[in-house]
Amino acid sequence: MPNSDTGAARSFHNATKLSYISLATKPPLYKSYPGLSAVALPPELPSPGAPTLEAVSGGAASAGGPLDLAAVAQLLHYSAGLIRRSVLRSAGEVHYRAAASAGALYPIELYLVCGSLPGLEAGVYHYAPDGNGLTRLRSGDFRGNLAAAAAGQAAVADAPATIVCSCVFWRSAWKYRERGYRYCFWDNGTILANMTATANALGQPAEVVAGFVDAEVDALLGLDSEREAAFCLVPVGGGDAAPAPAAYTGAVDAGILGDERRTEYPESRALHVNSCLNGPAETLAWRETAGAAQGVPTLGKSGAESGRRGWPESAPLGATIANRGSTRRFAREPMPAGGLEALLSASAAPVGADYGGGLIDTYLIVNAAEGISPGAYYYNPAKGGGLELLQSGDFREEAGHLCFEQALGADAGAVAFFMAGLDGILSRLGNRGYRAAQLEAGIIGGRMYLCSHALGLGATGMTFFDDAVTAFFSPHAAGKSLMFLVGLGRTATPNQVHPFRSRIGILKDSLARGAGGGGQPIPDWLYA
């Protein structure tokens, strides 16, 4: 290209401009199907009354009755429903949903594939949180198609209904760009934490199924896989064998996503495509490999069960979800005695999933919790109280820095870091293992959200400096990668973000400008 061709300069200049995210390209928060009829869900729903910690850990209720429309409505509403609205002078009408979402972007959509249920005909439906209804996309019983796509997975084949979680990629990428693909799984995880806790409260078995033939599920739901794709299946209930796969013809209404002005991020797209399972044989082989990996240390149920005897009283699950909201500012006050241990124990119950669970290790920086010395910890529920001290000390500044220079990390009573040994996970489960690890981190983080609010505390997820977290917790965390983190503690009044700059961040900026560090010792992890 000759010097006279100025395309290179113009392309570079445009690609390196700094600006706020374009509000003109922000997609709507809800998918819509104009022209299709909707089945109204009951406007008044029973509120799950089981104590939140018991519901989260799986010990809330005995077996429930047959799955019906009322139970389905509760599962959908308390997982991803519109909980309340408010009007703010600075922002106008704000919608609050059942589960936490990064940036309140809500990229996850829910679909229902069911046989005939009391109050609901067999079909494929889309859940509309804003209208509290189910839009019928297909009439008929297609559970056999879903079971075939899941390579005959028993929970899917025997369930009267399966909830499918999909992701609208641009909703997250609009703000978070390439990294938004991670956030989609965190958001899916918080929804699954609510969903499985609600299922426990209703006495309905539920399992997370991560292995399925992607193209077949997307086709059944009528999804454009480049814009929206299925992430996981959640079969609910049991004892109702699916029929043989049903033939279907014709395109399903694709609905309106409002992402026509989206930007493509090839790395995210490549990861999604290369983590797809391309047929029943590959899906079955993946699940068998995942099942064989269950000998890996898992988040033990014994830890949750033994801890339950000393748990403080927690608010009912329905009330916890209805009143939930992310903390914007933590008070620098100690968490109450036993609170951190209880929410850790409840959140550590095994994740019921086809890949076996146990992919995540939890590390903590404890700043202020009654009965626990400040320091860095590894949580091992199989050992006594579960917390293993790695290093004593006041690490508020370090926590604030690791949490992407946010005051929330420094002010929190504790910060929980969910880490995964990606090398081992990828070698066993391939690229699909990355999805599973991110999803499980989101589930555990979502459980901590619920448990914190049920105990009168606050919680919030945050982004982070990846390699610095690994370096900080090393050598114990050497080789592990951070998937997600959640800050925990007492919510401050007013609950508003405040400016913050850690001494760690100031020091690193000074070193980057050529300063010598003022003679103070500089830990190796600062260079990560």
Whether residues 99 and 184 share a domain: the answer is yes
Tell me the two tokens of residue 194. Answer: 């609510």
Give the whole-angstrom CA distance, residue 491 versus residue 487: 11
Residue at 520 is within a domain: no
Determine contact, residues 205/66, Cβ cutoff 8 Å. Answer: no
pLDDT in tens, the chain (528 residues): 789 999 999 998 988 988 888 889 999 999 999 989 899 999 899 999 999 999 999 976 667 789 999 999 999 999 999 998 888 776 677 889 999 999 999 999 999 999 999 999 999 999 999 999 999 999 999 999 999 999 999 999 999 999 999 999 999 999 999 999 999 999 999 999 999 999 999 999 999 999 999 999 999 999 999 999 999 999 999 999 999 999 987 778 999 999 999 999 999 999 999 999 999 999 999 999 987 544 333 333 334 554 566 899 999 999 999 999 999 999 999 999 999 999 999 999 999 999 989 999 999 999 999 999 999 999 998 877 799 999 999 999 999 999 999 999 999 999 999 999 999 999 999 999 999 999 999 999 999 999 999 999 999 999 999 999 999 999 999 999 999 999 999 999 999 998 999 988 988 888 888 877 666 677 888 888
Find residue 229's DSSP bridge partners: 167
**pLDDT for the residue numbered 242:** 93
Instruction: Please check whether residues 140 and 94 belong to one and the same domain.
Output: yes
Residues 318, 341: one domain?
yes
Give the residue from 236, 266, 293 where a domain finishes: 293
Same domain, 307 and 226: no
Half-sphere exposure (CA, 13 Å, Cβ side) for 400?
Answer: 22
Is residue 500 assigned to a domain? yes
483 and 361 together in one domain: yes
Domain assignment present for 191: yes
- Residue 302 has a pLDDT of 37
Return the biggest CA–CA distance within the chain: 77
Same domain, 145 and 250: yes
Q: Are residues 174 and 269 in the same domain?
A: yes
Number of domains in the chain: 2
Q: Are residues 331 and 196 in the same domain?
A: no
* Cβ-based neighbours of 484, under 8 Å, separated by 6 or more: 186, 189, 418, 438, 441, 442, 444, 445, 461
Q: Are residues 64 and 210 in the same domain?
A: yes
Q: Hey, what are 319's tokens?
A: 């009330």
Instruction: Give Cα 492 to chain centroid, integer Å.
Output: 25
Using the CB atoms, write b or e for 20-39: b if 16+ within 10 Å.
eeeeeebbebbbbbeeeebe
Q: What are phi and psi of 7, to 5 degrees?
A: -60, -35
Residue 174, pLDDT score:
96
Q: Which pLDDT belongs to residue 307?
A: 54
Encode 480-505 in three state secondary structure.
Answer: CEEEEEEEEECECCCCCCCCCCCHHH
Q: Does 7 fall in a domain? A: no
Same-domain pairing of 223 and 352: no
Give the residue from 471, 451, 446, 477 showing the smallest Cα distance to 461.
446
466 found inside a domain: yes
Side-chain-facing half-sphere of 22: CA atoms under 13 Å: 12
Instruction: Please report, for the domain that includes residue 77, its CATH number.
Output: 3.40.109.10
**Terminal-residue alpha carbon distance, the chain:** 39
- Residues of the domain holding 250: 26-37+59-293
Query: b or e along 421-435 (b: 16 or more beta carbons within 10 Å of the residue's beta carbon)?
Result: bbeebeebbbebbbb
270, 293, 316: which is the final residue of a domain?
293
Residue 5 in domain:
no
| Cα radius of gyration (the chain) | 23
Give the whole-angstrom CA distance, residue 202 versus residue 306: 23
Identify whether residues 289 and 373 lie together within a single domain: no
Q: What pLDDT score was predicted for residue 523?
A: 80
pTM of the model: 0.94
Is residue 393 in some structural domain? yes
> Do residue 358 and residue 226 come from a single domain?
no
DSSP label of 112:
E
Per-residue confidence (pLDDT) for residue 522, from 0 to 100: 76
Domain boundary among the residues 293, 309, 341 is at: 293
pLDDT of residue 223: 97
The answer to whether position 261 is within a domain reads yes
Per-residue confidence (pLDDT) for residue 64, from 0 to 100: 79
